[in-house]
Amino acid sequence: MEQRLNPPKQGLVLEIGSGENPNPRSNVLVDRFLFDNTERGGDLVIDRPFVVADAHHLPFKDGAFAYTICSHILEHMDDPIQFVSELKRVSEAGYIQSPSEIAEKTFHWSFHRWYVNLIDGVIILHPREAVEPFGEFFDYLYAYNPAYYVFQRSMPHLFWVEREWHGDDLKVEVHGESPLKLRDPAALMELVRPRMGTLRLVFLLIVSGIGRKMPANWRGSLRRKLRRSYL
């Protein structure tokens, strides 16, 4: 079942690691680094209340927020279990989005620390390997090849993990190895099963074609926004 970003209309919303593209619904932004863009896509946007803090130890009271947004943050954490305990302490609910293990092994994110999978509602992490066999090859495919862009966008469950949580139903575990059964034919068949309708595929193709005619900075901005929404 798809779990999308769905913040409440009322109540304070915190966003951790908002970077260069904070969510419009967020009331308070948190980031650990003001000027170091090593682990984000551009300069910080600070257009609302902003707190410099380590997300492992958030400087907020228990239950201060109705909802917390963490988009592409969990895979950066030194101690993901401590980080998640802080999320649940300061917020009643929230949303976590991360690249999947498959995406992590495909793309070039050398600064990430963990592979992330979602198995039966549980977020399972295991340590990321140092080897990056494809370098930036697939980054360029995604940016400049419409066919590959449509393929990847058509199967978001393969490339992104997203989990909306409420109260104590957020469960995160750290394992020593991958939970994926990549040598099991039955598991692979289920993993690659198409889950998107024809109309959405056509729309993706149109968006991809338009995107290729845009200036590079416009194209990057559009795709970052689409990445958040999953169309």
> Is 223 within a domain?
yes
213 vs 102, more confident: 102
> Is 176 within a domain?
yes
Average pLDDT, the chain: 86
> Is 7 within a domain?
no
Global confidence as pTM: 0.83
Asked whether residue 223 carries a pLDDT value surpassing 70, the answer given is no
Cβ proximity of 162 and 3 under 8 Å: yes
**Number of folded domains that form the chain:** 1
Question: Domain limits at 83?
Answer: 13-229
**What was the pLDDT predicted at 135?**
78
> Is 53 within a domain?
yes
Supply the Cα-derived Rg of the chain in whole angstroms.
18
Structure tokens at 131: 């080897």
CA 128 to chain centre: 16
> Is 138 within a domain?
yes
> Is 2 within a domain?
no
Q: What value, to the nearest 5°, has the Cα angle with vertex 218 and ends 216 and 219?
A: 60
